[in-house]
Amino acid sequence: MWSAVRRRTGDVQHLRRLLCSKDKLSQTRDGRENDGKLLANLAARIRLSGPVTVAQYMKEVLTCPRSGYYTAAEASVGAAGDFVTSPEISQMFGECWGVWVTNEWLKVGGPKNPLQLVELGPGRGTLLDDILRTMTRLLPDVGGVSVHLVEVGDSMRRQQRERICSDENSPSGSPQRSKSGSFPVHWYRHLNEVPRGFSFFLAHEFFDALPVHQFVRNKESGGWSEILIDLDPTHSEPKLRFIRSRDRTPATSLISSDDMREVVEISPDASMLVRSICDRIVFEGGAALVADYGGENLDKDTFRAFKNHLPWDPLISPGSADLTADVDFAALKAACPREAMCYGPIDQATFLRRLGIDRRKDMLVKQCQTEDVRNNIESSYNMLINEMGSRFQFLSIFPATMRPIHERFPPAGFQ
Ligand code: SAH
């Protein structure tokens, strides 16, 4: 049923060193240094129409065509990039997702209904590759699956194609096919381009890249100021700095009047995306599995940047570092309409354990030929469960009509 041991990004000790060194600001600059075009464009925009919101800044810096972090960068995910994600640490992570998808699909009729597997922000394609391999091992003759990747960056798309698709050239005009299962694979820039139909939506470390507005409570007046990004007038060269808005900004209306927090981050894009996903799974059927770092009703500034695996000043050399903010899972749940229902968030360690990661690790360890590979599996397990296990949260969404089925067979991992 399971596949053999697969070597991942290599040396997990190396990854651990990278992950653990987040306490000092990176001073290093690398070959992927942004050429300053983004900063010049931002400076021109600010001179013309005033300071920008954190959300406008994130959107521009991460996804603006050609010079955005995800649209221009050669490699950002993985040991050679700026940050390492769980699928890159061990095959066990994606295999658990594969078990989850198969299990939930079988509950609603499984291979009798065609399934669209839709992944938002697939990075290097590793998670999906592990999911497809696991699904085709669990259901060897499965057909009727199609793969739909929502990805903004061309270089990311290339990496995804290399990882997921078979080497055989598809006849011109026909879609690429996956190595596992030979399913057709399609790419899109936005979710709204994905054809409608019964779908499972998957998102790992995608929502944290969506723009957030940031607000702080004004101690004297009790009202809200929005955090904005402006040019520092004490520098002749363009240099960015944070300021607080003097008055209410249009986005302030997003804060609920009974919110008692001191710092609030709100992502309208994240809420809109959840609503679109719900709309689809309510009308066409399916489910969603979202995992990211964050929590519920966060009360702090979580907007930050990473470069070469180290924290980086988010206003320096925009476009050369990843920008991110913690995901507010309470806001995602609040965005779900009555016709949809959510389970979670639950922490990563609980989810993976309930999906059988301990047994899987023991099996892989038994197959190991060398001490080195065995240590690698133990370390990656430790990283997924102990070091990242409580920071990352999992949320699943289903149509509310599934309630009677879930009362007897709750969603895997969530109960
Ligand atoms: N899910 C992967 C990668 C996470 S990095 C993993 O866990 O390893 C975020 C991914 O989302 C990248 O592939 C990036 O190019 C993509 N992305 C970021 N913002 C996007 C947007 N607005 N639309 C589509 N893709 C986006």
Residue 121 Cβ < 6 Å to ligand 1: yes
Unique residue bearing structure tokens 């990563």: 348
Which residues sit opposite 291 in a β-bridge?
A: 204, 394
pLDDT score at 73? 64
- The model's pLDDT over 148-163, given as tens digits with 9 standing for 90+, comes to 999 999 999 999 999 9
Q: Which residues contact 251 (CB under 8 A, 6 or more apart)?
A: 53, 55, 213, 215, 226, 266, 268
278 neighbors 400 (Cβ within 8 angstroms): no
CA atoms within 13 A on the CB side of 250: 4
**3-class DSSP assignment, residue 401:** helix
Q: Is 162 helix (H, G, I), strand (E, B) or coil?
A: helix
pLDDT at 3: 57
Q: What average pLDDT does this structure show over 349-376?
A: 95
pLDDT score, position 111:
84
Mean local confidence (pLDDT), 11-40: 50
Q: How far is the CA of 369 from the centre of ligand 1 (A)?
A: 35
167 CB-near residues (< 8 Å, 6+ apart)? none
Task: Please give the full DSSP string across 49-100, using - where no structure is assigned.
Answer: H--EEHHHHHHHHHHSTTTSHHHH-S--BSTTSSB--HHHH-HHHHHHHHHH
Residue 98: pLDDT band (50, 70, 90) is very high
| Partners of 203 in beta bridges | 120, 290
Best mutation site among 206, 292, 322 for ligand 1, i.e. most ligand atoms within 8 A of its Cβ?
A: 206
* Residue 353, helix vs strand vs coil: helix
- Tens digit of pLDDT for each residue in 298-344? 999 999 999 988 999 999 999 999 999 999 999 999 999 999 999 99
Asked whether 76 lines ligand 1 (CB < 6 A), one says: no
pTM of the entire predicted model: 0.92
Report the SS3 class of residue 212: coil
Q: Classify each residue of 58-82 as buried b or exposed e, where b means 16 or more C-beta atoms within 10 Å of its C-beta.
A: bbbbbbbeebbbbbbbeebbbbebb
What is the C-alpha to C-alpha distance for residues 279 and 272, in angstroms, rounded to an integer?
10
pLDDT digits (tens, 9 = 90+) for 216-254: 998 888 899 999 999 999 999 999 999 999 988 999 999
Task: Indicate if ligand 1 lies below 6 Å from the C-beta of 98.
Answer: no
Cβ atoms 26, 308 nearer than 8 A? yes
Indicate the top mutation candidate among 15, 70, 82 to test ligand 1's pocket, ranked by most ligand atoms within 8 A of CB: 70
The residue-averaged pLDDT of 361-386 equals 95
Locus of tokens 């360690």: 349
Q: How confident is the model at residue 6 (pLDDT cuts 50, 70, 90)?
A: low
Nearest protein Cα to ligand 1, atom 13: 123
How many CA atoms lie within 13 Å of 228's alpha carbon, on the beta-carbon side?
22
Q: 180 falls in which pLDDT band (50, 70, 90)?
A: very high
User: 124, 151, 348: which to mutate for ligand 1, most atoms within 8 A of CB?
Assistant: 151
Say if ligand 1 is within 6 A of residue 77 CB: yes
Contact yes or no for 260/299 (Cβ under 8 A)? no
CA distance 378 to 99: 21
Q: In whole angstroms, what is the distance from residue 328 CA to residue 392 CA? A: 12
- DSSP type of residue 110: G
Atom index in ligand 1 nearest the CA of residue 71 equals: 15
Whole-number Å distance between alpha carbons of 16 and 84? 10
**Which two tokens mark 20?**
């653990």
Answer whether 153 contacts ligand 1 (Cβ < 6 A).
yes
Give residue 34's pLDDT: 53
Residue 59 CA to ligand 1 centre (angstroms) = 13
84 within ligand 1 shell (Cβ under 6 A): no
Q: Is residue 70 lining ligand 1, measured as CB closer than 6 Å?
A: yes
pLDDT of residue 130: 98
Nearest CA to ligand 1 atom 5: 123
Quick check: CB of 150 below 6 Å from ligand 1? yes
Lowest mean pLDDT segment, chosen from 108-112, 314-318, 348-352: 108-112
Neighbours of 220 (CB within 10 A): 5
